[in-house]
Chain A
Amino acid sequence: MTDADRVRLYRTVRLIRRFEERAVELVHGGQIVGGIHPYLGQEGVAAGVCAALGADDVLAGTHRGHGHVLARGADPARMLAELCGRVTGLNAGRGGSMHAADLSIGVLGANAIVGASGAIITGAVWARRRQGHDTVGVSFFGDGAVNEGMLLEAFNLAALWRVPVLFVCENNGYATTMPVAGAVAGSIAGRAAAFDIPAVEVDGQDPETVRAAAAAAVDRMRAGGGPELIEARTYRFDAHHTFEHAVRLDYRPPDEVTRGRARDPVDIQGSRLADADRAAVNAEVEATVDAAVRFALDSPEPDPADALAYLYASGLTVRTGGG
């Protein structure tokens, strides 16, 4: 890990943090409709994993997916425009928070169906490798997804066909409001062990620890290894979804929240930088996020006449719904 890597990692977690904080403000201000699942507190996972990837690699994320898209290098301005439903958004305003995608950089999309990304990424990586690329893939999912049969089927398929997919479980302790202890029999790493998939548990609050674990896994996969799993122990600082800002749900003990928030990935990574370097990154991120907010809010809304544009890649046209 060079000093430049260290700064880059800080820049990524800081960018996600400030992006999310501003996005929450835009939710409260009514500019982002439908709310978001804030990635606040989990920044170290996306940043650490994506720092270990190369240009040819692919990933797919979750409903709590802003961090994955940003860490992979998507344009924050177009990302925020997407959240605001603008035509300049990554998905031309058709996807929103839960479906943000940028296929040009291998982001096959945030995906709102829990446990869905594993099989999709397995297929994409297998296909890329058949076409001669040295691609590895990352499937991000939460602790709730380890009880989805579809994901366990994907573990089996990836292991059976030795498709190099890094399964990254972001264990933030809760599936919406359900604590892990109430939902997971056995263990998350044990799920992987059942398929002979190597698994490690890491401190997801430390971006450098995550990066090291991901880089080691990616190295082994590129050398011909099959899939691996990282369980990143993390904590979500904010709500499951911003609707909780209006409707208080009582499921996390206050002292647990306080303890969880005390281990802040942005602070942990920031403390490794000289004060001047950290301040420079902070200023740069602030300018980037300010510009993103301006870009998003200044961008035009899509034309309702084109509401079903892109429905069919083949260009098939459909009947309208009116009488």
Chain B
Amino acid sequence: MPRLSYRRALTRALADELAHDEAVFLLGEDIQVGASLVTTGLAKRFGTERVRDTPLSEQAFTSFATGAALAGLRPVIEFQIPSLLFLVFEQIVNHAHKFPLMTGGQCRVPVTYLVPGSGSRTGWAGQHSDHPYSLFAHVGVVTVVPATPADAYGLLVTAIRHDDPVVVFAPAPAMDVRDDVDDLAPVPLGRGRIHRNGCDVTVVAIGHLVHDALAVAEEMADQVSVEVFDPRTLYPFDIDGLVESVTRTGRLVVFDDGNRSCGMAAEIIASVVERVRLLAPPRRVTRPDGAVLPFAPALDRAVQPGRDHLVTAIHLTVKDSS
């Protein structure tokens, strides 16, 4: 069974889609040399017309992609830094996302925004460490956060083939995850995945936190039976799949690397409690309200949701209902 890293899974997905569909092309900063180590070798294989280095003009090249998509192509943009999404939020939301409705269905805008290394990279400080997936879920742009190499491949392929804009967050702490992968296939949007079955509490973990949640579940196995649910797509969200899990366990903890206020965890909890009567109040483990990641490694870690926080939240949830 071949070992595949998350990063190489992204490369493979890009290469397969470039080979599969002449309409696909890549845009981004330093992608010909592959500064993010994701587009490595693609310019050589597919040419610099289809793997295009851009000037540092994020707003223009994001809208350039919108125009190219309106004209029938399928652009993929790599953003080197997650915080650049704040700069191009206008171009994605006001134009790419709104055009199908505003034109009364005259067009589609199939653009993929790939963000390799989202979240904290440790030591990259305030303007390089954001994880703003909840913003895109809020405005209704399809948002995926794969946790594993197979899902990174499958969701990126699906994103590129999808007829609406999709943001693909590839969390920095997941980029070097390796897995035995023998079957690479597209993964449908809006379909979660249970990585570990349990019967006492459902932990919803997003992106790289899936791996931390699995480690915690294993560590606590003699005390509590933890089910780990990975939504994979944040918008549209697999609420039916999660409700099925929580209906069995009766308890819910959400593990989310976003800021607390108006974050994904809040939305997930609200969506569940609208439909399920829980045995205990739900809990969330998130970044603090309005977090800006400080530089010093100890401070950086202190603001990220960690395994210890998750252990505490699981204990509290179980205690609250006993």
Contact = CB atoms under 8 A, between A and B. Distances in A.
Given A113-B90, A156-B55, A122 B163 contact: no
B103 A109 contact: yes
A318 B140 contact: yes
Interface residues of B, number: 43
Contacts of B65: 123
Interface stretch (A11-19, A32-40, A126-134): A126-134
Contact of B106 (A91, A157, A314, A318): A91
B2 interface: no
Contact of A311 (B61, B140, B189): B140
Interface stretch (A94-102, A184-192, A225-233, A253-261): A94-102
Contact of A120 (B73, B95, B108, B164): B95
Given A58-B71, A113-B94, A126-B68, A91 B102 contact: yes
B283 to A, nearest CB: 24
Contacts of B59: 119, 149-150, 153
Interface in B163-205: 163-164, 189
B104 interface: yes
Contacts of B163: 312-314
Nearest to A94: B104
B55 A160 contact: yes
A70 B108 CA distance: 23
A140 to B, nearest CB: 14
Contacts of A101: 102-103, 106-107
A123 B103 contact: no
Interface in B36-85: 49, 54-55, 57, 59-73, 75
B106 A311 contact: no
Given A116-B95, A153-B59, A123 B68 contact: yes
Interface in A85-127: 89-95, 99, 101-104, 108-109, 111, 113, 116, 118-127
Interface in A48-101: 58, 89-95, 99, 101
A308 interface: yes
A122 B63 CA distance: 9
B67 A310 contact: no
A160 B245 CA distance: 53
B162 interface: yes
Interface string B113-140: 0000000000000000000000000001
B290 interface: no
Contacts of B69: 123, 127
18 contacts: A118-B60, A119-B91, A120-B64, A121-B67, A123-B69, A123-B70, A124-B71, A126-B67, A127-B70, A150-B63, A154-B63, A154-B64, A309-B101, A310-B101, A311-B101, A313-B107, A314-B163, A318-B140
